Amino acid sequence: MSTLDAKLKKDRIPFTKEGSRYILQSAKIDFLRYLWAVVLPGLAGIGILAYNILQLSIEGGRSRLWIASIGFIATCLYNYNHHRKTRKANSNTIILENNLIRIKDQQSFQSFDSHNTHSIQGLVESMDDGITIGQVQLLDHSGKAHTLLGFKDKGEEFVKSNLQWYMNYFESHLQLETHSK
């Protein structure tokens, strides 16, 4: 197993290897994680909210579960936002061939090599809960950014280190001059 294989597996980026060719596929939904993080808190929040509304209409009394309802719904929305960002960062199919990167999205199929690629850049976004999201992007000569992959972790330093490794890998793969030293 190569270092790239290990990094992709650790960062939960689905890929297949065909000889020397890597295909980084669109992120798949982890249904169990999605169920626990998004669906169940959303259902709990809606259920408690419905109970609160029934409690008010039937008895005219006050319920103290409004905060729990808001908490569950906020958790659902927050986790959905994390999930959406991760899927968006890994929405394209990336094919790594000999000194060439092919990006396939819903509209087009583009190829990049050292002649039409300006640089590889990394973006880091820290969330409020300590989760850090990293993205590796390819900048073409027209200045357009193409997301190659994205990943998240709790440690910002780990994400920055991992991001630098991916940037160096893609620069080396395309045989670009290293701009990020």
| 0.75 exceeded by pTM | no
79: left (phi over 0), alpha (psi -120 to 50) or beta: alpha
β-sheet bridge partners, residue 24:
15, 94
Comparing CA positions, the residue from 123, 136, 126, 132 lying closest to residue 153 is: 132
For 157, the token pair is 């330093």
Question: CA 21, CA 33: separation in Å to the nearest integer?
Answer: 30
What is the per-residue pLDDT across 123-138, written as a single tens digit (0 to 9) for each? Answer: 998 877 778 888 899 9
Q: Name the pLDDT band for 178 (thresholds 50, 70, 90).
A: low
Question: CA 103, CA 94: separation in Å to the nearest integer?
Answer: 5
Question: CA 167, CA 102: separation in Å to the nearest integer?
Answer: 16
What is the per-residue pLDDT across 4-29, written as a single tens digit (0 to 9) for each? Answer: 889 888 888 888 898 889 988 866 66
